[in-house]
């Protein structure tokens, strides 16, 4: 079935669903296939639950019934059909009589937070649709695109990558007019092969933007992004940055570790600005100075699209982070800085640097291992051990197999312990109560470091 035909069915549906267990009446079901599952096997369940139609693999049992049940649509590749449908939808959205504006966003760290901040800022003036949560892969991006409504004026689509050509393919689906790379660091090295591989993969967003006449928002404070942009002749660049614009990060404290910025009022895209003069204060609910770049990105995008600096700052001030990203949590006994959604060498170093500058009394850091780092994994964990042990933190817990290997090289630092998993650390904390501490909790998603919170 051609994308145009499938699109007519989609337009008459209540939306798309890929989970037969949660299908609602009128939805269009896609039976995706993975290493350990085959959604086509549940197509009949989806139809029974009220799906308007089910897209299944040609070689599935459900496909053999398509001649008896016109609601079954058999295709060679269900995922490709979903992606083609999303691309078709993107090209057929015409808000206010013009082509939908799409901002594509990727990077090693800060993607979801930056996407959320851009959404908050642009919502001051526009009807905005943004990726929900971190639905940013080959399934999540088409699902995000298919949620865009007819009256949406700007869509902000987050794109993740763990393999060399992921961004190239995802840009084909969402076809962004503007591009943002938050930063480029060491993550998913196992899939990219090297740091240069990461740069090349993330840079595919700049490639798309250049080749299709778009514009890239480039944080001029980051040498790697500036150089990547300069290496692409013909790329139209909109420069911004915390230092570039003379913004100042103000001190933070254990009871108030939130990012606070003093921003000159006369900033303009592409134009450096000196520190000082009249300034506006941004007082966010984001923990960590590393969020300054995320906030300035959202301000830059807002300024380009006509949102005033004061309105952009107010929007960022009102944003409340969720899902264990840069969150402050106060329990009856301790103050927690929870940044446990994910971790890589860049974000781990930034979290520790921020923690170092908090003026605090008793401190602890509970650090889960970082995943997908390939051959350099042990070396990167050694660097974390040495950095954490040099900071004077009262107690450090290292969690996971890669930290065990690193500790064999460094030796166990004073006032530190190793645990095989977060559940083991939780059990230890239950027997060794911590009280009056400021505690950093950081680790890769696989370590589920949030499990220790109940014992703090």
Q: Do 3-77 and 93-317 share a fold?
A: no
Report how far residue 144's alpha carbon sits from residue 166's, in angstroms, rounded to the nearest whole number.
16
Three-state DSSP at 266 gives: coil
Average pLDDT, the chain: 91
401-406-408 Cα angle (round to 5):
100
Poorest-pLDDT segment among 40-49, 323-332, 384-393 = 323-332
Query: 327-455 has which fold?
Result: 3.90.190
Confidence band of 65 (pLDDT split at 50, 70, 90): confident
**143 vs 362: which has the higher pLDDT:** 143
- Whole-number pLDDT of residue 148: 97
Dmax (CA) of the chain? 74
pLDDT of 187 higher than 80: no
Find the helix or strand (DSSP H, E) in which 28 lies.
strand 28-30
Residue 105, beta-bridge partner list: 158, 180
- Whole-number pLDDT of residue 303: 98
pLDDT per position as a tens digit, 249-299: 987 666 677 899 999 999 999 999 998 899 999 999 888 888 999 999 999
Under 8 Å between Cβ of 79 and 139: yes
Angstrom CA distances, 370 to 359, 395, 428, stand at 27, 19, 21
Report how far residue 91's alpha carbon sits from residue 330's, in angstroms, rounded to the nearest whole number.
46
Poorest-pLDDT segment among 110-119, 125-134, 325-334 = 325-334
- CA-closest candidate to residue 313, choices 272, 259, 358: 259
Three-state DSSP at 399 gives: strand
- Residue spans of the domains in the chain: they are 3-77, 93-317, 327-455
Under 8 Å between Cβ of 56 and 43: yes
**350 vs 91: which has the higher pLDDT:** 91
Under 8 Å between Cβ of 370 and 349: no
- Whole-number pLDDT of residue 66: 77
Under 8 Å between Cβ of 18 and 39: yes
- Average of pLDDT values for 107-136? 93
- Whole-number pLDDT of residue 36: 83
Neighbours of 365 (CB within 10 A): 23
- How does DSSP assign 431-454, residue by residue? HS---SEEEEEE--GGG-GGGGGG
Report how far residue 364's alpha carbon sits from residue 114's, in angstroms, rounded to the nearest whole number.
28
pLDDT per position as a tens digit, 418-452: 999 999 999 999 999 999 999 999 998 888 999 99
Report how far residue 397's alpha carbon sits from residue 414's, in angstroms, rounded to the nearest whole number.
11
- Whole-number pLDDT of residue 72: 93
- Average of pLDDT values for 162-175? 92
Query: 3-77 has which fold?
Result: 3.40.1390
- Whole-number pLDDT of residue 164: 82
Contacts of residue 211, defined as CB under 8 A and 6 or more positions apart, other chains included, come to none
Contacts of residue 111, defined as CB under 8 A and 6 or more positions apart, other chains included, come to 105, 134, 136, 158, 159, 160, 182
pLDDT of 125 higher than 90: yes
391-416-326 Cα angle (round to 5):
60
Domain 93-317 class?
Answer: alpha beta
Under 8 Å between Cβ of 285 and 120: no
pLDDT of 138 higher than 80: yes
Residue 180, beta-bridge partner list: 105, 217
pLDDT of 372 higher than 80: no
Name the residue with tokens 């007082």: 283
Report how far residue 1's alpha carbon sits from residue 73's, in angstroms, rounded to the nearest whole number.
8
- CA-closest candidate to residue 324, choices 156, 139, 452: 452
pLDDT per position as a tens digit, 209-233: 999 999 999 999 999 999 999 999 9
- CA-closest candidate to residue 452, choices 343, 359, 331, 277: 331
- CA-closest candidate to residue 257, choices 362, 361, 358: 358
Report how far residue 153's alpha carbon sits from residue 122's, in angstroms, rounded to the nearest whole number.
10
Edge to edge, what strands does the sheet with 395-399 contain? 327-330, 335-339, 437-442, 362-368, 395-399, 416-419
Report how far residue 235's alpha carbon sits from residue 87's, in angstroms, rounded to the nearest whole number.
23
Contacts of residue 377, defined as CB under 8 A and 6 or more positions apart, other chains included, come to 189, 370, 402
Contacts of residue 409, defined as CB under 8 A and 6 or more positions apart, other chains included, come to 378, 382
- Whole-number pLDDT of residue 360: 66
Angstrom CA distances, 118 to 37, 289, 313, 321, stand at 35, 18, 11, 13
- How does DSSP assign 305-341, residue by residue? TT--HHHHHHHHHT----TTSSEEEE-SS-EEEEE-S
pLDDT per position as a tens digit, 324-348: 566 788 899 998 888 887 788 888 8
Neighbours of 392 (CB within 10 A): 9
């Amino acid at each position: 079935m051609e994308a145009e035909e499938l699109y007519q069915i989609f337009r008459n549906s209540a939306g798309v669903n890929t989970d037969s267990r949660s299908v609602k009446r009128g939805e269009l079901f896609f039976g995706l296939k993975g290493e350990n599952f085959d959604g086509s096997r549940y197509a009949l369940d989806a139809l029974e639950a009220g799906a308007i139609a089910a897209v299944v693999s040609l070689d599935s049992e459900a496909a053999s019934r398509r001649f008896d049940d016109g609601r079954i649509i058999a295709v060679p590749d269900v995922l490709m059909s979903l992606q083609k449908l999303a691309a078709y939808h993107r090209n057929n959205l015409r808000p206010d009589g013009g082509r939908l504006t799409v901002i594509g966003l990727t990077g090693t760290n800060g993607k979801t937070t930056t996407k959320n901040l851009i959404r908050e800022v642009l919502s001051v003036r526009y009807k905005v649709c943004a990726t929900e949560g971190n639905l940013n892969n080959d399934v999540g991006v088409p699902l995000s695109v298919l949620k865009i409504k007819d009256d949406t004026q700007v869509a902000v689509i987050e794109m993740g990558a763990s393999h060399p050509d992921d961004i190239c393919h995802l840009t084909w689906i969402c076809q962004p007019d503007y591009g943002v790379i938050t930063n480029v660091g060491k993550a998913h090295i196992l899939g990219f092969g090297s740091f240069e591989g990461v740069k090349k993969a993330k840079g595919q967003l700049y490639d798309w933007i250049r080749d299709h006449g778009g514009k890239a928002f480039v944080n001029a404070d980051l040498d790697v992004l500036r150089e990547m942009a300069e290496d692409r002749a013909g790329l139209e660049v909109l420069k911004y940055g915390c230092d570039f614009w003379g913004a100042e990060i103000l001190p933070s404290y254990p009871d108030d570790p939130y990012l606070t910025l003093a921003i000159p009022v006369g900033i303009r895209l592409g134009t450096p600005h000196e520190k000082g003069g009249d300034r506006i204060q941004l007082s966010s609910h984001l923990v960590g100075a590393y969020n300054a770049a995320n906030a300035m990105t959202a301000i830059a995008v807002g300024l380009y699209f006509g949102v005033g600096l004061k309105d952009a700052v107010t929007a960022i001030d009102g944003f409340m982070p969720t899902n264990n990203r840069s969150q402050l949590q106060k329990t009856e006994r301790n103050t927690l800085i929870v940044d446990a959604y994910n971790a890589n060498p860049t974000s781990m170093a930034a979290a520790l640097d921020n923690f170092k500058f908090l003026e605090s009394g008793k401190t602890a850091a509970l650090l889960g291992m970082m995943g997908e780092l390939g051959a350099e994994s042990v070396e990167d964990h050694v660097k974390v051990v040495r950095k954490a042990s040099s900071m004077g933190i009262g107690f450090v817990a290292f969690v996971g197999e890669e930290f065990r290997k690193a500790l064999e090289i460094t030796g166990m630092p004073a006032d530190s312990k190793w645990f095989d998993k977060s559940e083991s650390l939780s059990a230890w904390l239950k027997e060794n109560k911590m009280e009056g501490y400021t505690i950093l909790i950081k680790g890769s998603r696989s370590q589920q470091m949030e499990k220790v919170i109940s014992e703090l």
